[in-house]
A and B are shown apart, each in its own frame.
Chain A
Amino acid sequence: MVEKVLLRLEGVQTHIGRYHILHGVDLVVPEGELTVLLGRNGAGKTTTLRTIMGLWRASAGRIVFDGADITRMATPDIARLGIAYVPEAMGIFTGLSVRENLVLATATGRFDAALLDGVFALFPVLKVKWNDAAGGLSGGQKQMLAISRAMVERRRLMIVDEPTKGLAPAVIEHLIGGFRTLKESRTTVLLVEQNFHMARSLGDGVAVMDDGRVVHAGGMVELAGDEALQGRLLGLSLAAHQ
């Protein structure tokens, strides 16, 4: 079966101020799959995601989403193509209630009942805290809210930056369950993750970044089965997370 490519980065370079962060990123995200972006801190993973969203501008290269060049598009227009972005800091509006956070993520201001039920089934705590200020949620609950925000509307692509950072193992298992459900619905996901357990249990494809480039791309099964390759690409950081 020939897979359709939903998102493609070709030689993308990004400068932030006088720093040259991305040195030509090539990345392919096939439709309906969960692609994990791995790499050590400072490799350029977050910058890649922000460049896709137009939050940083690519200084060279091309970003193509579903056949359309989005390299120069404004962030709101990129989002409106059906791309949901969950930043590392989660981007929760703490002064707004859980309901208000979610309602802003809908296109029309009205909830799709089926999608909302799906969110509640996955994260029942959000129903309990429905009218509470999001600032009062725990770290794990905030992450659930951030991911739910990407789920209350049908998206073509979800871009998620290190959702497990700072979370307790039990909460991470809960999140993995959430992403499994997303995968069953064939939502395309690009996930930055340092937690190799999570990455391995969810990823279809994997790309490894180092020093502003993708240095390896392939199937997760192959990487998970090849310890020598893991050691070479990810070094000690992988062993520490196993």
Chain B
Amino acid sequence: MKARRDVTAWVLLPVVALAMLPLMSFSTWVTLTIAGAAMGMMLFLMASGLTLVFGLMDVMNFAHGAFITLGAYLAVSVLGRMAGWGGSESLWLNLAALGVAVTVGAVVTGAVGAVFERMIVRRVYGSHLQQILITMGGLIVAGQLVVVVWGAQPLQVAKPALLRGSFLVGGAAIESYRLVAVALGLVVFGVAHAVLNRTRIGLLVRAGVENREMVEALGFRIERLFVGVFVAGAALAGVGGVMWGGYQEIVTATIGDEMTVLIFIVIIIGGLGSVTGCFQAAVLVGLTTNYVGYLTPKLALGSNIALMVLVLLWRPRGLFPVAKP
């Protein structure tokens, strides 16, 4: 019974994608599907840390968007300085420039995440109200700090030249940047999945999401695990921010805040605490946004809320609910 339900959740994505095929031409479908998958992968990068932070420590971090904003501004700074590689004729140098931006984004936001956890989050364990208030406050402060460092005016991301255009495959226009985003998202999901399922730390994280107290009673310090997850989650949000900044090309101080609602929708649809669920939900949201935006643009704004309502009516605790004692 349980196994069959899980299969249902897995086939949801292909079913949704194929169901849209009769409503449009094949080339449009390919374009929209890849665009949706790319958006989904970036949403997954941004949301995956948040779902684990909530699942493991029951911490609601509304400042998660600040890590995304920081990542996006780091994309501006790093790619701006690497215009030599980014503007070159070599695809490899183009990708390397993006790779450096992604690495810097991960390292810097990870470090900021460590400080944020120590200074703010650690003080409010166990109290949702305090968490919401203080992380909201942290979000405002972070937004102003970004303005202090980078200024209030929107900034352009110097996206590597060869990742700017699109190419045609059988009549379908495919943006090369989106393919890079899909590839990166798949790699990160693969690594996260392997770490969670094949390593002892990953086992501890999964066990801790389910029953924190028992993990402690087995002799493990859950706080250390949590700091690690928080830092990794912040780093991933930074990577997501770099990619999202490059995708939007224009970065403002609210770029992360604007994603926050969508990210919460993703982790709720996926099932709080589940990385696999987060991945599925992110791609589902990405696809829905793109299909609905094409078919009935007027409904695009509410489509994600509607999607969340539908999924929760079907599975009240998300696609991949994590068991809690």
Q: Is the CB of B217 within 8 A of A91?
A: yes
Q: Is the CB of B216 within 8 A of A94?
A: no
Q: Separation in Å of the A162 CB from the closest CB of chain B?
A: 15
| A-B residue pairs in contact (CB < 8 Å), sample of 27 | A74-B216, A76-B216, A76-B219, A76-B222, A77-B219, A79-B216, A79-B218, A85-B217, A87-B217, A89-B325, A91-B211, A93-B210, A93-B211, A94-B210, A94-B323, A95-B206, A95-B209, A95-B210, A96-B206, A100-B207, A103-B203, A104-B203, A104-B204, A104-B207, A135-B2, A135-B323, A136-B2
Excluding A76-B219, A87-B213, A104-B215, 20 further A-B contacts by CB distance (< 8 Å) are A55-B217, A77-B219, A85-B217, A87-B214, A91-B214, A91-B217, A93-B206, A93-B210, A93-B211, A94-B210, A95-B206, A95-B322, A96-B207, A96-B210, A103-B200, A104-B204, A107-B219, A135-B2, A136-B2, A149-B218
Q: Is the interface of B mostly helix, strand, loop or mixed?
A: helix
Q: Which 6 A-B pairs have the closest CB atoms?
A: A91-B214, A79-B219, A75-B216, A94-B323, A93-B207, A80-B219
| Residues on B with beta carbons closer than 8 Å to the beta carbon of A67 | none
Please measure, in the bound complex, the distance between the C-alpha atom of A160 and the C-alpha atom of B203, giving whole angstroms. 24
Indicate with 1 or 0, residue by residue over B185-211, a CB within 8 angstroms of chain A CB atoms.
000000000000000100110110111
Q: Is the CB of A53 within 8 A of B217?
A: yes
The answer, yes or no, to whether A105 is at the interface (CB within 8 Å) is yes
A-B contact count, CB below 8 Å?
66
Please measure, in the bound complex, the distance between the C-alpha atom of A76 and the C-alpha atom of B221, giving whole angstroms. 6
| Residues on B with beta carbons closer than 8 Å to the beta carbon of A105 | 218
Q: Separation in Å of the B131 CB from the closest CB of chain A?
A: 21
Given A93-B210, A135-B2: A75 and B217 within 8 A (CB)?
A: yes
| Residues on B with beta carbons closer than 8 Å to the beta carbon of A109 | 200
| Residues on B with beta carbons closer than 8 Å to the beta carbon of A75 | 213, 216-217
Which residues does A use to contact B, with CB under 8 Å? 53, 55, 74-77, 79-80, 85, 87, 89, 91, 93-96, 100, 103-105, 107, 109, 133, 135-136, 149
| Residues on A with beta carbons closer than 8 Å to the beta carbon of B222 | 76
| Residues on A with beta carbons closer than 8 Å to the beta carbon of B213 | 55, 75, 87, 91
The answer, yes or no, to whether B26 is at the interface (CB within 8 Å) is no
Please measure, in the bound complex, the distance between the C-alpha atom of A20 and the C-alpha atom of B206, giving whole angstroms. 34
Which residues does B use to contact A, with CB under 8 Å? 2, 200, 203-204, 206-207, 209-211, 213-222, 322-323, 325
CB-CB nearest in chain B for A107: B219
Q: Separation in Å of the A115 CB from the closest CB of chain B?
A: 16
| Residues on B with beta carbons closer than 8 Å to the beta carbon of A96 | 203, 206-207, 210
Q: Separation in Å of the B274 CB from the closest CB of chain A?
A: 9
Q: Separation in Å of the A63 CB from the closest CB of chain B?
A: 15
Please measure, in the bound complex, the distance between the C-alpha atom of A79 and the C-alpha atom of B222, giving whole angstroms. 13
Please measure, in the bound complex, the distance between the C-alpha atom of A64 and the C-alpha atom of B222, giving whole angstroms. 24
Q: Separation in Å of the B263 CB from the closest CB of chain A?
A: 23
